[in-house]
Each structure stands twice: as structure tokens, then as C-alpha cells.
Structure 1
Amino acid sequence: MLAVAQGGGKAVTAPDAVTPTTSPIARPTSSLPPADELLALLDGRRLSPAQRRIAHYLLENLPEVAFLSSMELAERVGVSQPSVTRFAAALGFSGYPELRAALRPIALRAPEQGFRGEQLAGNELHSALASDQANLEALHKYAADPARLARLGSDLAGSEPLSVIGLRMSAPIASYFAYGAARIHPDVRAIDTPGSPAHEALLQAKAAGGTWLVAFVLPRYSAESVVVLQNARELGLKTAVVTDVPLVPFAHLADVLLPVGVGSRSVFDSHAAPMAFAALLLQALADAAPERTQERLEAYEALAETRGFYVK
């Protein structure tokens, strides 16, 4: 559920928060089928797009990759050799040779069980969708105790102006939330530029009476977003931070930490669950001030009808 930091301290996560668990060093489990064994090796790892390209190549060409050098693998994938080394480290191995040694038993068992690259690639697509489905199912924990989300919605509704930030890959969800919030809240200020413009926007929001900042900080975590969170705390603004897991390095900067799972099985993260959660948060914001919400929505619909905003 909601992870709340009291008095500016570290965020405390409720026991029912869902946290992905990965061991420091990944080791395949030979009891699994080869396809699932390889997917388990990659599961839950925060990989860069270049590293995910390597992972996809590995998934489609395991019998070959398990006997390639790091330089040969880099040439086949079209990345640099250091990228291959960093990929192995991201999986928890001391280097590429150790990763290759772990892959060889899987590759050698694959022919016995009719394992083919095409089959594994297909499994990976199913696995990516299954990961999103699991993250969406986990959102039921928020719905199971709506009072906590309602309290946050009330706090956000009372903040005039209400600031919203999301940078880099988090920007689309922040934009969606800010757009929806502006339909039902009188003063929503979206911050989409880091550096001095962000700091100026927070200062102006604070001076105008704002009390809350909603921040979307999803992996890979934007360093600029963390700086903005630090500035918000210095200004005395409270922060509601939507991220992927409770144990993030900036948890102490959140007054309310909202962990929502992110799908990491594709080249780029899937934000299906965070987007759905943004809709839940908008609902809580709307429900906190129902009369204002209705008035603003009716005014917007009248304007949209008059100006022809939408195709009929």
C-alpha cells in the first residue's frame, strides 16, 4: 500500500507492498525448462536499451552465444565490447566469462528438450505480457484499501497550485496525469524541464500557496528528478512519488511513496501499471472535491462542444 515517510525520514513501506526480489548474483535453476531458465536469469534486472538488445540476441541465439567471446557477441549484436561486459555485471556476474559459463549448461540442455530460438523468443513475448498482467493485478492492493488513496487525493486537491513532474521516460505518464488533473483542478503546473526552470517553477508554486508535488520517477531513474525532489523538500513542499519499488535511493525524499511495478521484459520498460495507477490517482483527486470536479468537467465539455475540440 502507501509507503509514508514521517517527519522527513525514510519512507516506511506497509507489509503488503509488492517488491520484486532478485539475488545479487543470478544463477540459473536447472530444474526449469531451458526457456524459462534463461528468462529467470534476466527477470527483474534493470537493463539499459543497449543491454536489452544483447538480452534479446541471447534469447534468440542461445546455443551460439554461449560459446562466443565478448568481442564476437558485441559484433553480432552491434554494440561495443564494454556494453557486453556491463551487461554481464548488470546480471550480477563478475564478468562476461562467468556469465558465459552459466549459459553453457542451459545451451547444452536445450537440444534435449526441443528448445529453439524462435520458441524462446515467443515465450519472451508472452512473458512480457504476463509481467504486465502481474503488475496490474498488484494494483488491487491499492483498491483494497481506498481510504489511503482517498486521503492522498484530498491532500492533492487542496494544493493550489499542484505541481507535477516527470522527466525522460517518466514524462509521458506525468503528462497524462497533469492533463487529466488540469480538467478537475484549478491550478496544475507541469514541470517537464530540469535544471533552473524546474527550481523556479517550484519556488513560484510554493509562493502561490502550493503544498504538494506529484513526481513520477520510474527507471531508469532520472538524476534531475531526484534533484527536484531535494529542492522540493528544502522549500517545504510535500512529495507524492510514484516509482517502481519501495527500496529506491530517493525514498527518504518522499512523504508518500507509491510503488507500482514496471515491466522490464522488453527493450524499453512497459509502463502499463503506472499508467493505470495514474488513472486511479486522478480518480482519487476527482472524488476529493466532487462539486468542483463536476463544475469544471461541465465547463470543459461546453467549451469542447463550442470550439469543436473532438471529431463527432
Structure 2
Amino acid sequence: MPSEQQARAQAAAITPGRRAPEEEGETASPAERLQVLFGGHRLSPAQRRIAQFLTDHLTEAAFLSITELAERVGVSQPSVTRFASSLGFSGYPALREALQPIALSAVAGAPDERRLRNELQSAVDAEIENLTSLRRVFADPDRILDIGRELARSVPLTVLGLRISVSLAEYFAYAARRIHPDVRVVTRGGSVAYDGLLQAREAGGEWVLAFAMPRHAKETLAVVRAARRVGLRVALITDLTLGPLVDEADVVFSAGTGARLVFDSYAAPGVLSAAILQAMADADPERTQTRLEKYEQAAEQYDFFMDD
């Protein structure tokens, strides 16, 4: 975590990637300075609400007491204190002291603020950056193709996703069942997860595909370790590049998540998941074709879908 002095310096800094103000002949805008201050930190949904309120109501919010700010945002006072600490400040008063010069500059340059992109566009831009990074990873597709072959051969194949990662796991499993004969989903931790892992291993399974997105649950790490204990190998899709989850996995694929809105968005992990599904399909094209044809026949027979 940065020191309070570093955090104060961030508040006066320019956006990463921009030239220094003296090189551009201009100073960073208040919105850019806030982005530098709040960016680069993994904030909880409640903390993101505070950051968004400060961004949207800067000229007023920078002068509110902790009680007033908590009431306006709809969070507790300890949440505001934790938010300030997560940015590297000793407490809310120190954060407010850093915000006030930015607020005063916003008052002085208010007309310029109207030209800034809105927060939703910024969120899309951040996801574009995540997808661009993933595109560079796909320049060498061998690792994707290799794990596709391994997962295709694992019968059954277990897919793990707990808490916020459930949706990604269920999407992957839903599609994988169209091309794979036995896909099992684990979306609960504890002994229920252990039972599922043990049964999958006893049935001949070799791999678990695990999703671990922020905020990373301790129970995900426990289930991954349990999978290793029963003899399963683990392929991990996460936003992490370091840490105990990465250390426990046999294969790791990292894809950035969008963190500009109150809740994360998953454009890059979604594309990565689809790429692995494609690799699984290509690993056994005859089985894939047979299963897809049978599914289409069933869909037509039982009238699953509306006509376009």
C-alpha cells in the first residue's frame, strides 16, 4: 500500500501514459487527478460507490464531514475510513485534505469538465484495454490449444466457480456440455465441493477448470487445494498473476477485469473462456460434430427456440 505521502503525490499527478504538464503546456484536469488517485487500487463495491460519489460531486463532497459523506453515499462511517486507508491515507481527514485542492481547481475550470468522457465510456475503454492485452496473449495460441486438448480428454471435466465467479463457470459448463460428454459444475464450497471433486476423480476425471475473479474467495483456494489432494490437475482462469491461487494451479490464464463501475465486468475472461471452448471443440472434431448435430436435432424436435 502506498504511503500517505505517495497518495498525496498521486492526487496531484497526471494520468499514466500522458506527458508531463510542462510538456503539454497544461495541467491535469481534476477528473484525471481523481482517476490517478482512485485507480490502481482494488476497491470493494461499497468503496467504488464512495469513489463514484466523490467524482460526481467533487466540489461539494471534498468539504463534507465523514458523517455527512457516509449519509450521502449510503454507507457506514467505518466504510469511509476503510476507503481512505485503502488509498494509502491515515484516515478520512487526510483524504479530504488531498481532495480539497482538486475540488477548488474544478471550480476554477468547471467549463473544461464538460468535455470529459463520462464514467460509462471510461469503463468501456478500460475493457478495450483488457481485450487488447488478451489479443497479445492469443498471438501465440499454443497454450490455449494445449489446455483445450487436456480438458477435452478429461471425462468427466469439472468446472469450478464460487461466489462472483459462478456466472463464468456456468456459462463455460453450459457451452462445454454441447461438445463434451460429462461436464460437472461445482458452485458451492466446503464438503459439497469435496464430494464433487472426489466423485469426478473416481469416475476418471483428470482436470478441474477453475474461475477466480475479484474479490477472490478464500474458499476457492481451499477447493483448489482439495482438488490437488484428490489427484486432479487445475487450470485457472483469473485476473491474478501472483499469489497462492496461482501457486496452486497447474496452468494459469490471466485476463483483466473491468473495475471502473460499482461491480466488475468480465469482457476479457468471457472471450478467454470462449477461446478455450473453441480449442476443446477442435481437439476432437468428430465428437464435437456428432454432439452438436444431436443437440440441433433435439432442439428442433422439442422446439427449444423461437424462430428468428
Q: TM-score, normalised by structure 1?
A: 0.88
Tell me which of 67, 72, 75 is aligned to 2:71. Answer: 75
- Higher mean alpha-carbon deviation, 110-119 vs 128-137, is at 110-119
With CA pairs under 8 Å and 6+ residues apart, which has the higher RCO, 1 or 2? 1
Alpha-carbon deviation of 1:123? 2.7
Matched ranges for 1:1-312 at <5 A: 26=7, 27-28=10-11, 29=13, 31-114=27-110, 123-312=118-307
Alpha-carbon deviation of 1:141? 2.1
Alpha-carbon deviation of 1:158? 1.0
Alpha-carbon deviation of 1:113? 2.1
Distance 1:289 1:243 in 2: 26
In the superposition, relative to structure 1, how do residues 281 and 115 fare at CA in structure 2: closer, same or farther (>3 Å)?
A: farther
Paired letter, 1:44: G
Q: For structure 1, which runs of at least 5 residues remain unmatched after alignment?
A: 1-21
Q: TM-score, normalised by structure 2?
A: 0.89
Alpha-carbon deviation of 1:249? 3.5
Distance 1:218 1:118 in 2: 34
For residue 258 of structure 1, give the secondary structure of its aligned residue in structure 2: strand
Counting aligned pairs with the same residue, the percent is 52
- Higher mean alpha-carbon deviation, 210-219 vs 229-238, is at 229-238
Distance 1:42 1:271 in 2: 20
Distance 1:219 1:249 in 2: 14
Paired letter, 2:292: L
The answer (yes or no) to whether the contact 1:49–1:268 under 8 Å persists in 2 is yes
Distance 2:188 2:227 in 1: 15
Alpha-carbon deviation of 1:169? 1.1
For residue 178 of structure 2, give the secondary structure of its aligned residue in structure 1: helix
Alpha-carbon deviation of 1:115? 5.7
Distance 1:119 1:98 in 2: 30
The answer (yes or no) to whether the contact 1:167–1:194 under 8 Å persists in 2 is yes
Q: Equivalent residue for 2:20?
A: none
Distance 2:104 2:62 in 1: 9
Alpha-carbon deviation of 1:177? 0.3
For residue 75 of structure 1, give the secondary structure of its aligned residue in structure 2: helix
Distance 1:219 1:177 in 2: 18
Greater C-alpha radius of gyration:
2
The answer (yes or no) to whether the contact 1:60–1:117 under 8 Å persists in 2 is no
The answer (yes or no) to whether the contact 1:35–1:123 under 8 Å persists in 2 is no
Distance 1:292 1:190 in 2: 21
Q: How large is the Cα RMSD of the aligned pairs?
A: 1.8
The answer (yes or no) to whether the contact 1:35–1:115 under 8 Å persists in 2 is no
Alpha-carbon deviation of 1:292? 0.8
CA-to-partner distance for each residue in 1:115-160, whole Å, 9 max, x for gaps? 688776x532221110011111111123201111101111111111
The answer (yes or no) to whether the contact 1:135–1:261 under 8 Å persists in 2 is yes
Distance 2:162 2:113 in 1: 36
For residue 239 of structure 1, give the secondary structure of its aligned residue in structure 2: strand
CA-to-partner distance for each residue in 1:201-260, whole Å, 9 max, x for gaps? 000001111111001100011222111001011112111111112023321111111110
For residue 165 of structure 1, give the secondary structure of its aligned residue in structure 2: strand
Q: For structure 2, which runs of at least 5 residues remain unmatched after alignment?
A: 15-26
Distance 1:141 1:117 in 2: 34
Paired letter, 1:54: I
For residue 216 of structure 1, give the secondary structure of its aligned residue in structure 2: strand
In the superposition, relative to structure 1, how do residues 265 and 166 fare at CA in structure 2: closer, same or farther (>3 Å)?
A: same
Paired letter, 1:236: G
For residue 252 of structure 2, give the secondary structure of its aligned residue in structure 1: strand
For residue 305 of structure 2, give the secondary structure of its aligned residue in structure 1: coil
- The runs of at least 4 aligned residues of structure 1 exceeding 6 Å deviation read 116-120
